[in-house]
Amino acid sequence: MSSRAWLVYAMTTTLLWGVWGALIEIPEKAGFPATLGYSAWALTMVPVAIIALKLIRWQLERDRRSAAIGLSAGLLGCGGQLLLFQILRIGPAYIVFPIISLYPVVTIILSVMVLRERASRRSWIGIILALFAILMLAYQSPEDSPVQGYLWLLLAITVFLMWGVQAFIMKFAGDSMHAESFAFYTMASALLLTPIALIMTDFSQTINWGFSGVYSALIIQSLNAVGFLFFAYSIRYGKAIIVVPMMALAPVVTVILSLILYAVIPHPIIMGGMIIAFIAIYLMAE
C-alpha cells in the first residue's frame, strides 16, 4: 500500500460526502422525510458492503472481538445520526451543528493518548486550522431555531462523543480488521436501527414515493454509503489525527456546489471557514 494512498482515499471521501451534503435536501424538500432518508442510506449500504466483502474474498472477521468492535463503531455512527434528528426537533441548529462538528477533537485526543499518534509541526498547524474551519463551516443562522429546555445540549454532546469515539475505534482496530469489514458491520448496524427511524417518521404527512422522493434519496444516499467505505480505507492507512479532521471539511465541497447549483451565497463566516479549510488541507496533506 502506497504511503500516500490514505490521502487519495481521504480526498475521495471528502468529495463524495461534500456532494452528498449539497444534494441531500432535494428529496427532503420534495416531501421525503430525513428519517426515511436514513432508511434509504441503510439500504444503499447493502450493495456497498457486498462489494467490499467480495474485494477481500469474503474474509469477514467474525470472531467475537471483531464483531463487537465492528458493531460498536457502526452503532455509534448510526445511532448518532438518528439522535441528531431528534436534537434538531428540540434544539437550536445554530448551536447544535458547531458542537457536533467538532467531534474530531475526541478522535484526536484519544489517538494521541492511546495510540501515541504523532504528526509534524506543519501537520499540527493544519489540524488546528481544520478545527477552526470546521467550526466556521458549521455556522447556522440563529433565526427560527426551536429551543425546548436543555436536553438538546446533552444529546448534542452525546453525538459529539459518539462520532469521535467511532472514528477512534475504527483506527484502534485498523491493523486487525479489514476496512471492508467495517463497511459490513456498519451496514448491519444501520439496518438494525432502521425500525427506530421508521418509528420516528410521521407517516400522517404526505410522503413522496416518486422519483424525486424515494428514488432520488437512494441515489443521493449511495454517495454517503460509498464515501463511508473510502473513509474506512483512509482511516486504516492514514493517521486518525489527520484523516478525521480532513473528512470533516466535506462542507467545503457542499458550499461550492450549493453556490453553483442553487446560487446560494454563503455567509461571510462560512466563506472564511472555506479559506482556512483549503490552507488546512494543504498543510495536512504533506
Distances (CA, A) of 252 to 33, 134, 180: 25, 9, 27
CA–CA separation, 121 and 133 (whole Å): 18
User: Around Cβ 121, how many Cβ atoms within 10 Å?
Assistant: 8
User: Around Cβ 261, how many Cβ atoms within 10 Å?
Assistant: 11
Handedness of CA 128, 132, 133, 135 (dihedral sign): positive
Q: How far is CA 180 from the centre of its chain?
A: 17
Q: What's the structural domain count of the chain?
A: 1
State the residue for C-alpha cell 428529496: 27
CA–CA separation, 279 and 130 (whole Å): 8
Q: Supply the pLDDT for residue 63.
A: 92
CA–CA separation, 262 and 241 (whole Å): 34
Residue type, 168: F
Per-residue confidence in pLDDT tens, the chain, 286 aa: 456 789 999 999 999 999 999 999 899 889 999 999 999 999 999 999 999 999 999 999 999 999 999 999 999 999 999 999 888 888 887 788 888 999 999 999 999 999 999 888 889 999 999 999 998 988 887 765 666 677 888 999 999 999 999 999 999 997 789 999 999 999 999 999 999 999 999 999 999 999 999 999 999 999 999 999 999 999 999 999 999 999 899 989 988 998 888 887 888 999 999 999 999 988 887 6
Residue type, 128: I
Is 285 in contact with 234 (CB distance < 8 Å)?
Answer: no
Q: Which three cell numbers stand for residue 1?
A: 500500500
CA–CA separation, 235 and 6 (whole Å): 7
Q: Which of 243, 258, 285 is nearest to 13 (CA)?
A: 243
pTM for this predicted structure: 0.90
Q: Which domain holds residue 45?
A: 5-284
Is 108 in contact with 240 (CB distance < 8 Å)?
Answer: yes
Q: Which three cell numbers stand for residue 25?
A: 435536501
CA angle 90, 139, 167 (to 5 degrees): 80
